[in-house]
C-alpha cells in the first residue's frame, strides 16, 4: 500500500486543484444538464446525491486513481479477509462478521478465510443467546426500566439506535443511558427507578473503564440499599472481559471479541439494549441492512461504491480545499444522536497524526465532525454555514416517508432540507454587504426511503466503511485510539491530590486550580 502523498495521483490532484480552485457549482449545473444523474448513487437503502460537491469529472477520475494507487481495494480485501490490520494492537478488524448471515442460512462459508470460518459460528451462538435473552426481557412485564451503563462505543451506538428506532420499540419499557462519571447523570436516572423493576446492563469491552466501573458500583450499591436482592436477575454484563464481570458479581454475561473495536460494537452484545427495544427480528433486520452495505462495499466497482466516493470527497476537501470540518444535519429528529455517534466513529478512528509506520504526516486527517438535527440547526449555527468565513461541507440526511401522519410536518421538513442545500449552493448575489450570500458551498444529500432497522443498519455501515476508506487513503491506523490514554493516566494521578491537596510536581495552572478547588 502506498501513502496518498506518495502517489502520482496526489501530485496530479494538486495541479488539478490549482486549475479548478474557482470551480462554481452553479456553472457546473448550467453546463451539464445530467450532473445530478452523473454524481448520484444508489447503495443499499441509501441514495446519495453528490452533485452539489465541488468536484468535476476530471477531479473525480483523479480521486479514483488515487484510491487505486493507494491500494484501497487490497486494503479493503485485507480487512474482509480477517488480517490483523490494526497493527499497533495486533488485531483483526471484523465487525462486519457480526452481521454476516449464519453459515446454515447461506450454505457453507466457501469464500471465507480460516479466521472467518472459525469465528462465525461463535458469533452466531452469542447472537442467538443474546436475542433469546432480549426476548425474555421483553416478555418480562415486571421489568419496566432498562439502564445501559457504558461510555464511548459502549454507549453512543446503542443510545443512537434505540432513539432512532423508537417507532419500532416495544411499549411498556423505558431505556436510560448513563455514561458520564459525573454522578448527576446516574443520580437523575436512579431517582425515577425501583430496584425490582430495573435491569442494569453494564456495557464495557474492557470492563475496566473508570466511568463505567464507577457508575456500575454505584448502581449496585443503590440496588442493595434500596432493598434489591437478586443481582443475578437485575444485572447483566456485555463485555469481552468475562472474568472481570464475574468478579464484579455479574453472572449473566454476553461476550464479544477483541476484533470488535469499541466504536464498531453496536452489532455485538453491546447492541443488547437495541435488541430489547426492537426485538430479535428487528435486530436481525438491522444486521441485514448493515450486511447489505458490507456487500456493496466489498463488491461494487470504485466508481459506484458509495463509502469509497464519500471518503474520496473527504480527502479532496481536507487535503486540497483545506476544509477542517464537516457538519452532519439529519432531517429526522429520531437521528438526533447520530452526529455524536459519528464524532466518535470518525474522530477517534481518523484523528491521527502519524502514518502506519509512526512517521509524522505532512497533511491533515480527520475533520471535526459535528451537527444537530434539522430544522433546529437552521435556527442556531446555519448562519455561519451560509455567511461565515469558513466553508463547511454539510451532509444532509433525509427520509422520504415519515413514521407519523401529522399534518404537513414532513413536507415542511423536507422542504427545509432541500432549501438549505439549495441556498448553500445558489447563494444570493443581488444584495450587497450583510445580505449577500456567496453560495457555492458544498453539500451531500443522503436519502433513505424510511427510517427502519434495515436502513439504519445500512446507514451506519456506510459511515463505518467511509471512515475505513479515508483512513486507508491517509495511510493511518483507523482502529487504535492511543490518544485517549494520557488523560486517563493523569486523572488517576490527580484524583488523590483532590483529597490530599498535594500539588508537588504539578504544572502551575493545574496546581493553582487544585488549590482553588480545595479552598
| Nearest-approach distance from CB 421 to ligand F6P, in angstroms | 32
Site for ligand F6P contains 205 (CB under 6 A): yes
Stretch that binds ligand F6P, among 116-124, 149-157, 306-314, 316-324 (CB under 6 A): 149-157
Q: Contact with ligand F6P (CB under 6 A): which of 51, 92, 212, 378?
A: 212
CA 504 to chain centre: 41
Judged by beta carbon, residue 206 or residue 503, the one nearer ligand F6P is: 206
Catalytic residue among 348, 372, 395, 464: 348
Does residue 263 touch ligand F6P according to CB under 6 A? Answer: yes
Torsion angle, alpha carbons of 381, 382, 383, 387, to 10: 120
Cα gap 295→376, rounded to integer Å: 35
* Of 209, 285, 378, 420, the one binding ligand F6P by CB under 6 A: 209
Is residue 262 a contact point for ligand F6P (CB under 6 A)? yes
**The one segment of 82-90, 145-153, 227-235, 388-396 that binds ligand F6P by CB under 6 A:** 145-153
199, burial (CB in 10 Å: exposed 0-12, middle 13-18, buried 19+): buried
SS3 220: helix
- 73 flagged as catalytic: no
Which parts of 278-317 interact with ligand F6P (CB under 6 A)? none
The span of 14-22, 147-155, 382-390, 447-455 binding ligand F6P (CB under 6 A) equals 147-155
Q: Is 243 in the site for ligand F6P (CB under 6 A)?
A: no
Give CA–CA dist 94/158, Å, rounded: 19
Cβ of residue 239: shortest distance to ligand F6P, in angstroms? Answer: 8
Residue pair 202/150 in contact (Cβ under 8 Å)? The answer is yes
Between residues 148 and 327, which has the closer beta carbon with respect to ligand F6P? 148
- Which residues fall within 8 angstroms of residue 442, CB to CB, at 6 or more apart? 25, 52, 53, 54, 317, 391, 393, 394, 424, 425
Letters for 482-511 (x = contact with ligand F6P by CB under 6 A, - = none) are --x---------------------------
One of 98, 116, 143, 151 touching ligand F6P (CB under 6 A): 151
The H-or-E segment that residue 493 falls in is helix 485-500
Residues facing 253 on adjacent strands: 237
* Distance separating alpha carbons of residues 478 and 83, to the nearest angstrom: 14
Which residues lie below 8 Å from residue 392, measured CB to CB, with a gap of 6+?
A: 323, 325, 326, 327, 384, 385, 441
What is the per-residue binding string for ligand F6P in 331-370, x denoting contact by CB under 6 A?
-----------------x----------------------
Q: Which segment (92-100, 202-210, 389-397, 436-444) binds ligand F6P by CB under 6 A?
A: 202-210
- Bond into 229 cis (ω within 30): no
Nearer to ligand F6P, 204 or 477 (CB): 204
User: Binding to ligand F6P by residue 45, rule CB under 6 A?
Assistant: no
154: contact with ligand F6P by CB under 6 A: yes
Minimum CB separation of residue 460 from ligand F6P in Å reads 15
Stretch that binds ligand F6P, among 45-53, 152-160, 361-369, 472-480 (CB under 6 A): 152-160
List C-alpha distances in Å: 324 to 74, 258, 337, 368. Answer: 28, 32, 22, 6
Q: Which of 455, 512, 440 is nearest to 24 (CA)?
A: 440
Contacts of 499 (CB under 8 A, 6+ apart): none
CB-based contact 318:346 (threshold 8 Å): no
Q: How far is the CB of 149 from ligand F6P (least distance, A)?
A: 10
Per-state percent for the chain, helix, strand, coil, to nearest 5: 55, 10, 35
Q: Is 15 a catalytic residue?
A: no
Burial of 5 (0-12, 13-18, 19+ CB in 10 A): middle
Q: How far is CA 33 from CA 36, 37, 61, 78, in A?
A: 8, 9, 19, 40
The yes or no reply on residue 152 touching ligand F6P (CB under 6 A) is yes
Contact 315/474 with Cβ under 8 angstroms? yes
Task: Using the rule CB under 6 A, give the single segment among 182-190, 198-206, 459-467, 499-507 that binds ligand F6P.
Answer: 198-206
385 touching ligand F6P, by CB under 6 A: no
Active-site option among 125, 247, 379, 492: 379
Closest CA relative to residue 461, chosen from 341, 312, 374, 364: 341
Closer CB to ligand F6P, 240 or 420, in the complex: 240
Quick check: is 211 catalytic?
no
Q: Which one of 206, 387, 416, 510 is in contact with ligand F6P (CB under 6 A)? A: 206
Beta carbon of residue 345, minimum distance to ligand F6P (angstroms, whole number): 10
> Which residues are known catalytic residues?
348, 379, 488
Can you give the binding site for ligand F6P, defined by CB under 6 A? 151-154, 204-206, 209, 212, 262-263, 348, 481, 484
Amino acid at each position: 500500500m502506498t501513502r496518498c502523498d506518495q502517489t502520482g495521483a496526489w501530485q496530479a490532484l494538486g495541479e488539478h486543484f490549482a486549475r479548478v480552485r474557482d470551480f462554481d457549482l452553479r456553472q457546473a449545473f448550467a453546463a451539464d444538464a445530467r450532473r445530478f444523474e452523473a454524481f448520484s448513487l444508489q447503495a443499499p437503502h441509501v441514495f446519495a446525491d453528490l452533485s452539489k460537491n465541488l468536484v468535476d469529472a476530471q477531479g473525480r477520475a483523479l480521486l479514483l486513481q488515487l484510491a487505486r494507487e493507494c491500494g484501497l481495494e487490497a486494503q479493503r480485501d485485507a480487512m474482509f479477509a480477517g488480517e490483523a490490520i490494526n497493527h499497533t494492537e495486533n488485531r483483526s478488524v471484523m465487525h462486519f462478521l457480526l452481521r454476516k448471515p449464519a453459515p446454515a442460512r447461506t450454505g457453507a462459508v466457501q469464500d471465507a478465510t480460516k479466521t472467518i470460518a472459525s469465528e462465525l459460528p461463535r458469533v452466531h451462538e452469542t447472537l442467538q443467546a443474546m436475542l433469546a435473552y432480549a426476548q425474555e426481557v421483553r416478555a418480562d412485564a415486571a421489568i419496566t426500566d432498562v439502564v445501559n451503563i457504558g461510555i464511548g462505543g459502549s454507549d453512543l451506538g446503542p443510545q443512537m439506535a434505540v432513539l432512532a428506532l423508537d417507532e419500532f420499540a416495544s411499549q411498556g419499557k423505558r431505556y436510560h443511558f448513563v455514561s458520564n462519571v459525573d454522578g448527576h447523570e446516574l443520580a437523575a436516572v436512579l431517582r425515577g427507578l425501583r430496584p425490582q423493576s430495573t435491569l442494569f446492563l453494564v456495557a464495557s469491552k474492557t470492563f475496566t473503564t473508570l466511568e463505567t466501573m464507577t457508575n456500575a458500583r454505584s448502581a449496585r450499591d443503590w440496588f442493595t440499599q434500596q432493598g434489591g436482592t437478586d443481582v443475578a436477575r437485575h444485572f447483566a454484563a456485555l463485555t469481552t472481559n468475562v472474568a472481570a464481570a464475574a468478579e464484579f458479581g455479574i453472572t449473566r454475561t454476553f461476550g464479544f471479541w477483541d476484533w470488535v473495536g469499541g466504536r464498531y460494537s453496536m452489532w455485538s452484545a453491546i447492541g443488547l439494549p437495541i435488541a430489547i427495544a426492537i426485538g430479535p427480528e428487528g435486530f436481525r433486520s438491522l444486521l441485514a441492512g448493515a450486511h447489505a452495505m458490507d456487500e456493496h462495499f466489498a463488491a461494487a466497482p470504485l466508481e459506484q461504491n458509495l463509502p469509497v466516493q464519500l471518503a474520496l470527497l473527504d480527502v479532496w476537501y481536507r487535503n486540497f480545499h483545506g476544509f477542517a470540518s464537516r457538519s452532519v444535519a439529519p432531517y429526522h429528529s429520531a437521528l438526533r444522536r447520530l452526529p455524536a455517534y459519528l464524532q466518535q466513529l470518525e474522530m477517534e478512528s481518523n484523528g491521527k497524526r502519524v502514518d502506519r509506520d509512526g512517521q509524522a504526516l505532512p497533511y491533515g486527517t480527520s475533520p471535526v465532525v459535528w451537527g444537530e438535527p434539522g430544522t433546529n440547526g437552521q435556527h442556531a449555527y446555519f448562519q455561519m454555514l451560509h455567511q461565515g468565513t469558513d466553508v463547511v461541507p454539510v451532509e444532509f440526511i433525509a427520509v422520504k416517508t415519515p413514521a407519523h401522519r401529522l399534518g404537513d410536518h414532513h413536507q415542511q421538513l423536507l422542504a427545509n432540507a432541500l432549501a438549505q442545500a439549495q441556498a448553500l449552493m445558489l447563494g444570493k448575489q443581488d444584495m450587497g454587504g450583510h445580505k449577500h450570500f456567496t453560495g457555492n458551498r458544498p453539500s451531500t444529500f443522503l436519502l433513505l426511503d424510511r427510517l427502519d432497522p434495515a436502513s439504519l443498519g445500512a446507514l451506519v455501515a456506510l459511515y463505518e466503511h467511509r471512515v475505513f476508506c479515508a483512513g486507508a487513503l491517509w495511510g493511518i491506523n483507523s482502529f487504535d485510539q492511543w490518544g485517549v490514554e494520557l488523560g486517563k493516566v493523569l486523572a488517576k494521578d490527580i484524583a488523590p491530590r483532590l483529597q490530599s491537596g498535594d500539588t508537588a510536581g504539578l504544572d502551575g495552572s493545574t496546581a493553582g486550580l487544585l488549590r482553588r478547588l480545595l479552598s
